[in-house]
Structure 1
Amino acid sequence: MHHITAKLSGLTQKVNKMKILRNTLITLSIATIVFSSCTSQKELTYLSNLDTTSVQQFFPMERPDYRIQYQDILYVDIFTMNQEMNELLNSRVSTSSSYMYRDPSGIYIYGYTVSDSGYISIPMLGDVYVYGHTLGEIKQIVRKRADEYLKNPTINVKLLTFKFTVIGEVNHPGTYTNFNNQLTVLEAIGMGGDITDYGNRKKVLVLRPTREGTHTYRINLQDKNLLQSQGYFLLPNDVVIVEPIKSKPFNLNLPTYAFIISSLFSAISTTLVLIAFLNSPR
């Protein structure tokens, strides 16, 4: 009886040692996997190579001008000192309808759509050719036409169909409308909810469709040279694609890997205990 008790005691000690070894190996394996898949702070920082010792730095960059295309929709208002004339010229932008410009259907109804022949039709001024011109050029064209009928008119021209798309590793991918005359890639990513934990800030692709074809720009959001890149300022219809980091598939499957490792070590430890039990002297 004493011999059997001693045998069971020794076997229990072996089992406990095997459990401790198994748990230690599992912990070390999971810790190794987790630390190897961690993202450093530097990889999450934008423009990380900017000189932090300088109070101010300057990066010259000429903003590209967008040239109006067919079916673009413009906002045009013309103001003079004559209130009655203002109401006639700007019937589309009355107080009761101005809020409609925030709605896609309102933009279509109240904006000036560029016809397939390249014209917009403005009350009193008639048809004005705008295709292929920049907003600044159109403003001058409208002012020249308005000077024929009005005294010292004030002209305001905006593009209402400044749409862009952000897809890939961002929190809120989709197509957005910009109501300013300019937009940077950083602002676009911000409107898309910023880059996810799986996004690669070093690999961002900007697609720019033009009349001749599609231009592509590869940019690095961590590099200060981004501020001088042709892809920094976006144009209407640009598409921003944020690529995933290489370890994304591994990170997504991490729970599965941890389960497999845990199950494997459990099977090994159970097998070793059985072998020890069967080989123990009777």
Structure 2
Amino acid sequence: MRNILVIGLLLLIFGSCASKKDILYLQDSAEYNNSALNYSVPKIQPNDILKIEIGALIEESAIPYNRSQAGTGGASIEIMQLEGYLVSEENTINFPILGILSTKDKTVKEFENHLKKELQDGGHFKSPSVSIRLLNAKVAILGEVNSPGTYNFTEQNISLFQALGYAGDLTINGKREDIIFIRETNGNRTISHIDLTSAEFLNSEFNQIRPNDVIIVNPNAPKIKSAGFVGNASSVIAVVSILLSTVILITR
């Protein structure tokens, strides 16, 4: 009886442990070293908020084309969003002087070039400068990470690992080989599964975060096993130790 309990205790201890294979990132990274990047620039989507700044050789002539005349150097992101251009459900914005402009199927850079051409061809400016930035890009990171939440970013693009870095990385209980990745583009939802223990995903479109992506990190098997009545592995060991001591006292 005593031997059976000892064996059971050992099985519980080792069964609640995660192996190195389940924890380490990019275990086959050597196979993907120096591989080409697979990156596509996201298109402007409805409900995006754009910051648009127009510059000209004579600065005063560009004032009517800029929504805010005040400097935005120290402005918060919330104030900048209020002064930005909200993309409508029809993929348009209402721009001063020029009126309704379509953003459909255009990246930020492509819309910059389009707006610059409109200003030049319409005789508004000879050599205008156009700067556009997306103000409300965000990614939601949920589950077994150290700081789950929604994170804003203003960079042109960030990688999946950078996004996970915002959330403080996965906990030791995160299921690294099956990260759920939800992406919505043009009204279509895509749900994919990513294995962080393999470098293969680095060559996929999901290595780059797009605005409104959702990342879900599920708990691994040891975490799920420990989520029952006893709570965790240390509790299991304590309970089994008490049972073992009790049996030893009874059988003496």
Range class of TM-score, shorter chain: 0.7 to 0.9
2:55 matches 1:90: no
For 2:238, the equivalent position in structure 1 comes to 259
Q: 1:137 aligns with which of 106, 110, 118?
A: 110
SS across alignment from 2:236: helix
Q: What is the total number of aligned residue pairs between the two structures? A: 246
Q: Which runs of 5+ in 2 are unaligned?
A: none
One-letter code of the match for 2:221?
Answer: K
For 2:63 and 2:3, how far apart are their aligned partners in 1? 81
Deviation of 1:169 after TM superposition, in Å, equals 1.0
RMSD in angstroms over aligned alpha carbons? 2.8
**Residues 127 and 79 (structure 1 numbering): CA distance in 2 closer, same or farther, change over 3 Å?**
same
**Residues 268 and 27 (structure 1 numbering): CA distance in 2 closer, same or farther, change over 3 Å?**
closer
Q: 2:216 aligns with which of 241, 245, 268?
A: 241
For 1:122 and 1:39, how far apart are their aligned partners in 2? 56
Deviation of 1:40 after TM superposition, in Å, equals 4.1
For 1:143 and 1:230, how far apart are their aligned partners in 2? 30
For 2:107 and 2:137, how far apart are their aligned partners in 1? 13
Deviation of 1:180 after TM superposition, in Å, equals 1.0
One-letter code of the match for 1:136?
Answer: K
2:26 matches 1:47: yes
For 1:59, the equivalent position in structure 2 comes to 35
For 1:119 and 1:249, how far apart are their aligned partners in 2? 47
For 1:280, the equivalent position in structure 2 comes to none
Q: 2:163 aligns with which of 188, 195, 216?
A: 188
One-letter code of the match for 1:257?
Answer: V
For 1:114 and 1:60, how far apart are their aligned partners in 2? 33
For 2:34 and 2:130, how far apart are their aligned partners in 1? 32
For 1:42 and 1:220, how far apart are their aligned partners in 2? 12
Q: Which runs of 5+ in 1 are unaligned?
A: 1-22, 274-282
For 1:81, the equivalent position in structure 2 comes to 57
For 1:6, the equivalent position in structure 2 comes to none
For 2:45 and 2:101, how far apart are their aligned partners in 1? 14
**Residues 212 and 24 (structure 1 numbering): CA distance in 2 closer, same or farther, change over 3 Å?**
same
For 1:38 and 1:184, how far apart are their aligned partners in 2? 30
Moved more, 166-175 or 57-66: 57-66
Tell me, yes or no, if the aligned pair for 2:183 and 2:191 is still in contact at 8 Å.
yes
Please give the TM-score of this superposition, normalised by the length of structure 2. 0.85
One-letter code of the match for 2:93?
Answer: I
For 2:243 and 2:64, how far apart are their aligned partners in 1? 81
SS across alignment from 2:216: strand
**Residues 216 and 116 (structure 1 numbering): CA distance in 2 closer, same or farther, change over 3 Å?**
closer
Q: Rg larger in 1 or in 2? A: 1
Tell me, yes or no, if the aligned pair for 1:165 and 1:237 is still in contact at 8 Å.
yes
Deviations 1:127-146 (A, max 9, x none): 32213322122111111112
Within a 5 Å distance, the mapping from 1:86-165 to structure 2 comes to: 86-92=62-68, 94-95=70-71, 97-103=72-78, 106-147=79-120, 148-165=123-140
Moved more, 208-217 or 25-34: 25-34
Tell me, yes or no, if the aligned pair for 2:53 and 2:132 is still in contact at 8 Å.
yes
For 2:184, the equivalent position in structure 1 comes to 209
Tell me, yes or no, if the aligned pair for 2:36 and 2:203 is still in contact at 8 Å.
yes
Tell me, yes or no, if the aligned pair for 2:81 and 2:135 is still in contact at 8 Å.
no
SS across alignment from 1:149: coil
Tell me, yes or no, if the aligned pair for 2:67 and 2:83 is still in contact at 8 Å.
no
For 1:178, the equivalent position in structure 2 comes to 153
One-letter code of the match for 2:85?
Answer: Y
